[in-house]
Amino acid sequence: EAQVTQNPRYLITVTGKKLTVTCSQNMNHEYMSWYRQDPGLGLRQIYYSMNVEVTDKGDVPEGYKVSRKEKRNFPLILESPSPNQTSLYFCASSFRVPGGDAGQETQYFGPGTRLLVL
């Protein structure tokens, strides 16, 4: 089954304790992206990756890191989480960068990771 998986689905942590949220897709997609979703703000892009070893900042990258060592995986790293990073996080993937070739840019989203930083 074609899918994007995220782990963990729920996480409670304390300020300053490093954490990683994993994201994996089995569709051989080149483009992957992380979003955070907060009430009233919709989804805001944190980081994106156009291919292996190619990553770039989105709209709200502060406090986050990513890596893309393999095509299928795109982990989100919070080196020193703070309470303002409490949010719902989504990973997404598509064949091509959004807005590119027709029919290639539909993004598939993971189920989300609910993070609470105390």
Residues forming contacts to other proteins in the complex (CB under 8 A) are 4, 33, 35, 37, 39-45, 48, 50, 56, 58-59, 88, 90, 92, 97-100, 102, 105-112, 114
* Cβ closest to other proteins, residue 16 vs residue 59: 59
- The span from the CA of 30 to the CA of 117, in Å, is 31
Whether the ω angle into residue 8 lies within 30 degrees of 0, i.e. cis, is yes
Neighbours of 56 (CB within 10 A): 11
Give the nearest distance from C-beta 77 to other proteins in angstroms: 20
- What single DSSP character describes residue 9? S
Residue 20 vs 106, nearer CB to other proteins: 106
